[in-house]
Amino acid sequence: MLEQLTDSFGRRIEYVRLSVTDRCDLRCFYCLPEDYRGDEEPEDWLTFAEIERLIGAFVALGVRRVRLTGGEPLTRKHLPDLASGLARIPGLLDLSLSTNAVGLSRHAQALHSAGVRRINVSLDSLRSERFKQITRGKLDKVLDGLMMAKAVGFAPVKINMVVMKGVNDDEVEDMVDFCIEHDFTLRLIETMPMGSTGRDAASHYMSLEDVKTRLQARYDLVPSVMPGGGPARYFKVAGSKLRIGFITPISQHFCETCNRVRLTADGTLYLCLGQEHKVEFRPLLRGGISDADLLDEVQNAIAIKPERHEFRERPQQIVRFMAKTGG
Ligand code: SAM
């Protein structure tokens, strides 16, 4: 390893969220507009060879974890091939996936064989009708995908639930019981003002502090930890194996411990989910940059990572949808 990647605020950067497409086969109302067709053309996307080269540079500089995300990563053709290429990079210790699980029953085995070990599945409702209203998709497929993920050996399987007032906040207890029953980990997330859709959904924002207080009336929540490098604050439900993570970008931001950057499908590196600071790597990769210069460019990029997002102070600021940046 050459050096650690450290930003100008002293934070070690060891995690890349890698968006492999900005397209998605669901249309969660708080994430993507119904008529969204994708900004980027597939020819603009980095090829697998380009991605592996770029991630190789990050890993040489100390990145240890990569999460495949999107858009919906399972809609990118031959994703297991990319996963196995990444899993072979020496020094990359943790390859994980965020998915809506619509296509997971078909791809779970191949992804696991390719070296993906941890998986996060977005699931905002366990009620078919409501699930359809939120996502425009079918709950059955997602549940099939989840069960397949468990069957082929992904561990842990984490459920990500965006908790929204008046939409699904009455289902948190059901989700807790579902996760206890199936041995999943639950992560509750606050709605963020990402893009016009995220801002429109802001009226459904609720602080997870309130949700936690409510859960404490029914469950005994004991502070806990969970490996994974994420910003969730975990609690164990006493008397069960379940851990619940609270991800609170709005009510209690965690920027001081931010260890990550985000690479979009077209090779743009975003240094913060809630800011516009970015560096475009595709022209460099296609312009024949040397390995040594590529390492320098990665280090220069990390140097402009901003201190924090401003979702609260400047909610109008981020025009990108979550699916574009890579959630
Ligand atoms: N398609 C994959 C999935 O469903 O996990 C990966 C991408 S998706 C954009 C990643 C996560 O971002 C999902 O859990 C989704 O619920 C969340 N998300 C999207 N827009 C959001 C918003 N405005 N606020 C909070 N979470 C959001």
98-113, pLDDT tens digit by residue?
999 999 999 999 999 9
Res. 1 pLDDT band, cuts 50 70 90:
very low
66 neighbors 114 (Cβ within 8 angstroms): no
Q: Report the predicted TM-score, pTM, of the whole model to 2 decimal places.
A: 0.95
The Cα–Cα gap between 66 and 18 comes to 7
Q: How confident is the model at residue 318 (pLDDT cuts 50, 70, 90)?
A: low
**Averaged over 235-247, what is the pLDDT?**
96
- Give the whole-angstrom CA distance, residue 155 versus residue 120: 10
Tokens in use for 15?
Answer: 């995690």
As beta bridge partners, residue 154 has: none
Cα 22 off chain centre by: 13
Of the chain, the percentage scoring pLDDT greater than 70 comes to 97
Name the β-bridge partners of 97.
68, 119
Look up tokens 């965006």; give the residue. Answer: 162
- Report CA(51)–ligand 1 centroid distance (Å): 22
CB hemisphere CA count around 130 (13 angstroms): 12
288 CB burial (10 A radius; 0-12, 13-18, 19+): exposed
Average pLDDT value over all residues in the chain: 93
Residue nearest to atom 23 of ligand 1 (CA): 198
Whether residue 301 has pLDDT greater than 50: yes
Query: Residue of the nearest CA to atom 17 in ligand 1?
Result: 327
Residues with CB under 6 A from ligand 1: 24, 28, 30-31, 69-70, 72, 98-100, 122, 160, 162, 189, 191-192, 194, 198, 322-323, 327
C-beta of residue 136 within 8 angstroms of C-beta of residue 27:
yes
Atom of ligand 1 nearest to the CA of 72: 1
Q: What is the dihedral of CA 84, 77, 123, 263, to 10 degrees?
A: 70
